[in-house]
């Protein structure tokens, strides 16, 4: 079961996987690797490519660039051969766990397979070689694709106006909250509070704070939905917005959504849909029909982009008529017959012009993540409406299969040690509590997660949502086979059985990865991003 091969790094690095603490040695392969950065490889004068002699007459640099813009020293660049470059990056890629090497059930993140067809489409020269300053007249195909994507997202969300400006889910949240603020200010109101459930993704309260508003937490009821009494008590004229995801991060669909929308609209606030969980409901239910005013999409989650390494992502928002004037610009507009040949023209639309516009403005200068639009559009078009619905149904089915399968594992002992936190059926993901496991077997959710790496699986999301004790959040997605789900359930059973014998095994895991346990807080708070050369 333990896959040792996929963890090997550079040829020449001494990797000896250990699966048991008794045989583990301190130094990791990374520490033993004598040449770690590409700057430490190669030799002076070595290069991957030689340019032919130029036939263009040389011009003195002094004539082209003023002295203050010229370097005194040439830049320090790695001097390496092509095979060294290839081995360097392939070696690094093999040290990471990625979706292409194994099951990655990271709850809330929707790590589903990214169809390779999308890469073909995104790499077409007309897409890949677009220039950011290219004249719109020579980029009509690209603008038309963006317009079509806007239309598709409007249809999927049930909200008619779309802006592709935001570059991530959290960026879409910021756009949505700024749109809300502009809407209230335009009506002469200063509202200060934004309600977020205690199951909310961390980006929701972070967004509220960045937008200069105040976070007010809402409690969760015994079914895992919003506590309506708490909502009624807190919904007042100072509330700007309620941010919600449905299904929420517990994998529970809030059946009270219509009543929630009434309460929120009753006090004049907007209802925001965190669309990161759209993978459960594509083609099945629409945020617009549930009463939401604003939704962000994570194109890199539900609509397939390679993600998890920090970008590029895409977080478009769709909004209702009520807040449409405040939408970030530019959007893409279609002008009928304006090209002269009877065909529609597509252009960037900046609204009524800077002075008259109520738009919150631009969120960035260029659509540098255009490749994301191509991939997601390819996904939407290749599946079609029916296909998107099938994908969501399969995502929910896979999650429920795995949930039920885990319950049977180890003759019921997994169910006993890792009970479902809320509800019975789930949507596209489910949350287990590792509290009983910790008390009975002496291993924490973190230990279980780390040990899963030795079994060849990426761990689920851990310690989120915060209200679940020792939370383990599993999202298998629709692209995994039944065999994979079975193997994962089996691995969880095996780890718990191991822990019953010797909790130290999981407590010291992982043993087979290039690095062991890292100081994640230090990595986030004081990252070493530049190595002294």
Q: Which residue has the tokens 């017959």?
A: 337
Q: Determine which helix (DSSP H) or strand (DSSP E) holds 370, and give its type and residue range.
A: helix 370-408
Contact between residue 294 and residue 320 where contact means Cβ atoms under 8 Å apart: yes
Which of 298, 398 has the CB closer to ligand PLP? 298
What are the angstrom distances between the C-alpha of 23 and each of 26, 194, 449, 512? 10, 53, 21, 11
Helix (H, G, I), strand (E, B) or coil at 137: helix
Tokens of 202: 């961390």
Verify binding: residue 168, ligand PLP, rule CB under 6 A. Answer: yes
- DSSP strand pairing (331-335 vs 430-433): unpaired
Single out the residue of 251, 315, 434, 435 in contact with ligand PLP (rule: CB under 6 A): 315
Q: Which stretch binds ligand PLP (CB under 6 A): 151-159, 274-282, 439-447, 517-525?
A: 274-282
Helix axes 482-501, 445-454, angle to 10 degrees: 120
Phi first, then psi, for residue 163 (nearest 5°) are: -120, 130
Report the half-sphere exposure of 77 (CA within 13 A, side-chain side). 10
Verify binding: residue 246, ligand PLP, rule CB under 6 A. Answer: no
Which of 109, 485 has the CB closer to ligand PLP? 109
Helix axes 370-408, 482-501, angle to 10 degrees: 50
Tokens of 105: 């059930």
Verify binding: residue 323, ligand PLP, rule CB under 6 A. Answer: no
Single out the residue of 99, 146, 177, 276 in contact with ligand PLP (rule: CB under 6 A): 276
| Distant-in-sequence, close-in-space partners of 54: CB < 8 Å, separation ≥ 6 | none
Verify binding: residue 203, ligand PLP, rule CB under 6 A. Answer: yes
Verify binding: residue 313, ligand PLP, rule CB under 6 A. Answer: yes
Cα 318 → chain centroid: 18
Contact between residue 266 and residue 244 where contact means Cβ atoms under 8 Å apart: no
Size of the residue set binding ligand PLP (CB under 6 A)? 15
Q: Which stretch binds ligand PLP (CB under 6 A): 81-89, 112-120, 264-272, 273-281?
A: 273-281
Q: Which residue has the tokens 């490889």?
A: 41
Q: Which stretch binds ligand PLP (CB under 6 A): 165-173, 223-231, 383-391, 440-448?
A: 165-173
Which of 211, 496 has the CB closer to ligand PLP? 211
Cα 130 → chain centroid: 25
Instruction: Name the closest residue to ligand PLP (Cβ).
Output: 169
Single out the residue of 33, 230, 254, 274 in contact with ligand PLP (rule: CB under 6 A): 274
Q: Least distance in Å: CB of 314 to ligand PLP?
A: 8
What are the angstrom distances between the C-alpha of 435 and each of 103, 145, 472? 24, 49, 10
Single out the residue of 150, 157, 170, 305 in contact with ligand PLP (rule: CB under 6 A): 170
Widest distance between CA atoms in the chain: 80
Cα 381 → chain centroid: 21
Single out the residue of 245, 302, 304, 392 in contact with ligand PLP (rule: CB under 6 A): 245
Single out the residue of 9, 17, 105, 169 in contact with ligand PLP (rule: CB under 6 A): 169
Residues numbered 502 to 531 that lie near ligand PLP (CB under 6 A) are none
Cα Rg of the chain (Å, integer):
26
Q: Nearest CA to 326 among 309, 351, 303, 298? A: 351
Which of 126, 202 has the CB closer to ligand PLP? 202
Contact between residue 434 and residue 471 where contact means Cβ atoms under 8 Å apart: yes
Q: Least distance in Å: CB of 482 to ligand PLP?
A: 25
Q: Which stretch binds ligand PLP (CB under 6 A): 33-41, 271-279, 440-448, 470-478?
A: 271-279
Single out the residue of 114, 180, 199, 298 in contact with ligand PLP (rule: CB under 6 A): 298
Quick one: 116 exposed, middle or buried, by C-beta within 10 A (0-12, 13-18, 19+)?
Answer: exposed
Positive or negative CA dihedral for 278, 281, 284, 287? negative
Which of 157, 203 has the CB closer to ligand PLP? 203
Q: Least distance in Å: CB of 165 to ligand PLP?
A: 14
Q: Which stretch binds ligand PLP (CB under 6 A): 74-82, 269-277, 410-418, 452-460?
A: 269-277
Q: Least distance in Å: CB of 210 to ligand PLP?
A: 12
Which of 19, 300 has the CB closer to ligand PLP? 300
Verify binding: residue 306, ligand PLP, rule CB under 6 A. Answer: no
Q: Least distance in Å: CB of 80 to ligand PLP?
A: 33
Cα 325 → chain centroid: 28
Residues numbered 97 to 136 that lie near ligand PLP (CB under 6 A) are 108-109
Verify binding: residue 225, ligand PLP, rule CB under 6 A. Answer: no
Verify binding: residue 201, ligand PLP, rule CB under 6 A. Answer: yes
- DSSP strand pairing (331-335 vs 193-197): unpaired
Q: Which stretch binds ligand PLP (CB under 6 A): 82-90, 117-125, 130-138, 168-176?
A: 168-176
Which of 39, 463 has the CB closer to ligand PLP? 463
Which of 203, 398 has the CB closer to ligand PLP? 203
Contact between residue 107 and residue 474 where contact means Cβ atoms under 8 Å apart: yes
Residue numbers of the site for ligand PLP (CB under 6 A)? 108-109, 168-170, 201, 203, 245, 249, 274, 276-277, 298, 313, 315
């Amino acid at each position: 079961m333990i896959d040792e091969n996929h963890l090997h790094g550079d040829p020449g690095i001494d990797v000896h996987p250990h699966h048991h603490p008794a045989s583990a040695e301190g130094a990791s392969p990374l520490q033993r690797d004598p040449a770690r950065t590409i700057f430490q490889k190669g030799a002076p004068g070595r290069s991957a490519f030689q340019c032919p002699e130029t036939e263009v007459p040389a011009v003195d640099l002094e004539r082209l660039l003023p002295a203050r813009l010229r370097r005194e020293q040439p830049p320090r660049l790695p001097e390496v051969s092509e095979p060294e470059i290839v081995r360097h990056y392939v070696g690094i890629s093999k040290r990471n766990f990625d979706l292409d090497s194994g099951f990655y059930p990271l709850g809330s993140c929707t790590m589903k397979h990214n169809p390779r067809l999308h890469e073909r489409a995104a790499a077409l020269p007309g897409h890949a070689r677009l220039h950011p300053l290219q004249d719109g007249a020579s980029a009509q195909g690209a603008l038309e694709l963006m317009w079509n994507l806007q239309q598709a997202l409007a249809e999927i969300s049930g909200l008619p106006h779309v802006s592709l400006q935001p570059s991530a889910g959290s960026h879409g949240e910021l756009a949505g909250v700024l749109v809300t603020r502009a809407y209230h200010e335009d009506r002469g109101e200063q509202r200060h509070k934004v309600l977020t459930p205690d199951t909310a993704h961390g980006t929701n309260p972070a967004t509220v704070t960045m937008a200069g508003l105040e976070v007010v937490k809402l409690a969760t009821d015994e079914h895992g939905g919003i506590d309506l009494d708490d909502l009624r008590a807190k919904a007042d004229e100072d509330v700007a917005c309620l941010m919600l995801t449905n299904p929420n991060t517990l994998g529970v669909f809030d059946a009270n959504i219509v009543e929630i929308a009434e309460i929120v609209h009753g006090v004049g606030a907007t209802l925001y849909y965190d669309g990161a969980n759209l993978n459960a409901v594509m083609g099945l239910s629409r945020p617009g029909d549930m009463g939401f005013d604003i939704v962000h999409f994570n194109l890199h989650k539900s609509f397939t982009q390679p993600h998890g390494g920090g970008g590029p992502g895409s977080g478009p928002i769709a909004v209702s008529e009520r807040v449409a004037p405040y939408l970030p610009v530019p959007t893409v507009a279609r002008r009928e017959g304006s090209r002269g040949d009877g065909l529609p023209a597509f252009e960037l639309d900046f609204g009524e012009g800077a002075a008259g516009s109520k738009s919150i403005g631009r969120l960035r200068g260029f659509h540098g993540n255009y490749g994301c639009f191509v991939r997601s559009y390819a996904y939407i078009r290749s599946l079609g409406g029916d296909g998107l619905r099938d994908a969501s149904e399969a995502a929910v089915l896979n999650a429920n299969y795995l949930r039920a399968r885990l319950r049977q594992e180890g003759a019921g002992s997994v169910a006993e040690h890792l009970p479902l936190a809320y509800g019975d059926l789930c949507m596209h993901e489910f949350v287990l509590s590792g509290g009983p496991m910790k008390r009975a077997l002496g291993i924490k959710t973190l230990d279980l997660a780390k040990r899963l790496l030795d079994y060849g699986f990426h761990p689920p999301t851990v310690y989120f949502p915060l209200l679940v004790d020792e939370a383990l959040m599993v999202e298998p997605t629709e692209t995994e086979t039944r065999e994979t789900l079975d193997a994962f359930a089996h691995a969880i059973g095996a780890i718990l059985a191991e822990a019953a014998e010797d909790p130290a095994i999981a407590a010291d895991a992982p043993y087979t990865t290039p690095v062991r346990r890292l100081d994640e807080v230090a990595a986030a708070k004081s990252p070493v991003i530049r190595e002294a050369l």
